[in-house]
Structure 1
Amino acid sequence: MKKIENPLGKQTNYPLEYNPNLLFPLERKYLKNNKIFKGFDIWNAYEISWLNKTGKPEIAIGRFQIPANSKYIIESKSLKIYLNSLNQKKIDNHSDLTNLICNDLSSSTNSDVLVNIIMPQDFKKIYIQELDGLCIDNLQIKTDIYNPDPNLLENEKTNKTKITETLMSRLLKSNCPITMQPDWASIQIRYRGFKINHESILKYIISYRNHAEYHENCIEKIFLDIYEQCKPDYLSVYGKYTRRGGIDINPWRSTDLEEYNPVRNLFRSTRQ
């Protein structure tokens, strides 16, 4: 079957038959920098349905983990369309569904994707979890910069002691590069090194307000700018984006996956 064009921003006819070629891969923008950072993109898909072997509909929530060094990301509208192509497909059990989606996403991203299918009896275990860290949103600042400017970032000039600190903000906003629809997110920044000026990092986060780029690229740019401007010994940046179209995307980038992991225990083995 022929691969589709990027469906974003276009009128779409939703398929009645399963078709993995509906997935539209996009090359990662900052792939050349993946020796600096490691991490994952965590996708939560809340609208998954298929038919069991008797023809009765089943529903589930899907959680997908795509490594940050994958050659491609998936355009989110194409993922929604692909998942909808499963609606009339007969699948014996959720383990078969897990393997099917895992194989399709791994093939499309050219990476090893982890898939966790959450059945209705486990929906009660899913809840919105607040990000750890000191919230910097109440700082009284003045700014008129709404496009990313790494020169806003600076370390404290008077504090030369190295610290470990976790900061968070709910004020990250960027925009879809095709439709310009707003993308809202909370962001957590954990670092070890010289103290970063809190006002400067809040201004920097706010500077994404008119920026148009995919979620993954925004978080990677934030990571790289902090890494270059503030030169921490260790850095972790985790973005939790608000759900749109039944899907949310949550990129995490870190210099060391073992020192601190905000997404630990989200996944079990794909084959379970």
Structure 2
Amino acid sequence: MASDLPLGRDVAYPRAYDPALLFPIARSAGRDALGLDPAALPFVGHDRWQAYELAWLDARGKPVVATATFTVPADSPRLVESKSLKLYLNSLNAARFDDPGRVRELIAADLAEAAGAPVAVAFGLPAVAGQDRDDAQTIDDLEIGIDHYGPPQPDHLASDADGPVAETLRSALLKSNCPVTGQPDWASVDIAYRGPRIDRAGLLRYLVSFRDHAEFHEQCVERIFTDLAARCRPQWLSVEARYTRRGGLDINPWRATPGLEPPAARRDPRQ
């Protein structure tokens, strides 16, 4: 229940390892609103979490610090609420381990139990990739007027009859709000597709229409994917959002047409 969430209320930081701190949320809540059948999802994907505040003690009591990347499959029945993950990671601060490999295995097992599916855990983070190192085209410099900031308006989306084209469009103007606390969530989003050319002005207006919308990161990306697929009918589509860090964690959901390879793991300059 929402009232049980640790998010949005004062919670004492843990002093001992406690996997029960992880708070799973059924993905069906957001997918029912999009009319998605969990047994026949129209996309593949994952949620890539990057953790910057991870520590434990070695066998002698000496602190060990690390960063980590967690990859949760999009077809897992549950996502993990972000503050609960931060509290869980902090519960490792005073735990002793002989081997860093044991820490990785423990985190993987605990996250898999919460998500209901295997979760990949790797220590370290992907290298920072600059905005000028690929062929993505920004749409943020379009000279257009915008006066709608929520709820999301798929009516803005349109595509040309001519095509197909293959391109990647990028915007750093995606913002939504946490559905529990109301705090802002900021992201850059890459939309790669092949099909009729997507109207860029309409796409930018659509992305900005999330500005006052309250939804979890993962649900926003699934909404963008399903709206683009329905309105623009691309032959294939990939949507990746890279959200800025909060509490030592950033979340990077990716959803795509089945059969597509996941994008290379990267960090946005704002991350």
**TM-score with structure 2 length normalisation?**
0.90
1:74 aligns with 2:80: yes
**1:96-127 deviation line (CA, Å, top 9, x unaligned):** 01100000000000001000012xxxx7x733
Q: Which moved more, 1:129-138 or 1:176-185?
A: 129-138
Q: Distance in 2 between matches of 1:128 and 1:165?
A: 19
Q: Spell out, residue by residue over 1:51-108, the C-alpha distance to the aligned partner (whole angstroms, 9 max, x if none).
A: 0011100000010000000000000000000000000000111110110000000000
Equivalents in 1 of 2:120, 2:64: separation in Å? 21
Q: Deviations over 1:223-256 (max 9, x none)?
A: 0000001111100000000001100000000003
| Partner secondary structure for residue 65 of structure 1 | strand
Residue range with higher mean Cα deviation, 34-43 or 66-75:
34-43
What does residue 270 of structure 1 align with?
A: none
CA distance in 2 between counterparts of 1:165 and 1:265 reads: 19
SS at match of 1:146: coil
Q: How many residues align?
A: 255
SS in 2 for 1:47: strand
Report the CA distance shift for 1:140/1:184 in structure 2 as closer, same or farther (over 3 A). Answer: same
Displacement, 1:176? 0.4
Structure 1 contact 135–168 (Cα < 8 Å) conserved: yes
Equivalents in 2 of 1:96, 1:265: separation in Å?
Answer: 26
CA RMSD, aligned part only? 1.9
**Does 2:47 match 1:41?**
yes
5 Å matches for 1:252-263?
252-258=254-260, 260-263=261-264
CA distance in 1, matches of 2:207, 2:110: 35
For 1:182 and 1:161, how far apart are their aligned partners in 2? 37
Displacement after TM superposition at 1:261 (Å): 2.8
> Quick one: distance in 2 between partners of 1:104 and 1:128?
30
In the TM superposition, structure 1's runs of 4+ consecutive aligned residues that sit over 6 Å from their partners are none
8 Å Cα contact 1:43-1:249 kept in structure 2 = yes
Name the CA distance, whole Å, in 2 between partners of 1:247 and 1:257: 29
Which secondary structure does the structure 2 equivalent of 1:104 belong to?
Answer: helix
Q: 1:154 is matched with which residue: 154, 158, 162?
A: 158
Query: How do 1:197-216 and structure 2 match up within 5 A?
Result: 197-216=199-218
Question: Who is 1:134 aligned against?
Answer: 137
Counterpart CA distance in 1 for 2:244 and 2:226 is 23
The Cα shift of 1:140 comes to 0.8
2:6 alignment counterpart: 7
The answer (yes or no) to whether the contact 2:157–2:206 under 8 Å persists in 1 is yes
Query: Which residue of structure 2 lines up, in the alignment, with residue 105 of structure 1?
Result: 111
Measure, in 2, the Cα distance between the counterparts of 1:257 and 1:51: 42
From 162, 167, 170, give the equivalent of 2:169. 167
In 2, distance between residues paired with 1:204 and 1:107?
A: 36
Give the 3-state SS of the residue equivalent to 1:235 in structure 2.
Answer: strand
Structure 2 counterpart SS, 1:32: coil
Q: 1:137 to 1:83 in 2, by over 3 A?
A: same
TM-superposition CA deviations, 1:172-221 (whole Å, max 9, x none): 00000011110000000001111111111011011100000000000000
- Indicate conservation of the 8 Å contact 1:39/1:257, yes or no: no
Task: Measure how far apart 1:257 and its partner are.
Answer: 4.4
For the 8 Å contact 2:42–2:258, the answer to whether it is kept is no
Structure 2 segments unaligned to the other structure (5+ residues): none
Deviation by residue 1:126-172 (Cα, 9 ceiling, x = unmatched):
3354384100000011121111010110012xx51211111000000
In structure 2, the residue matched to 1:269 is none
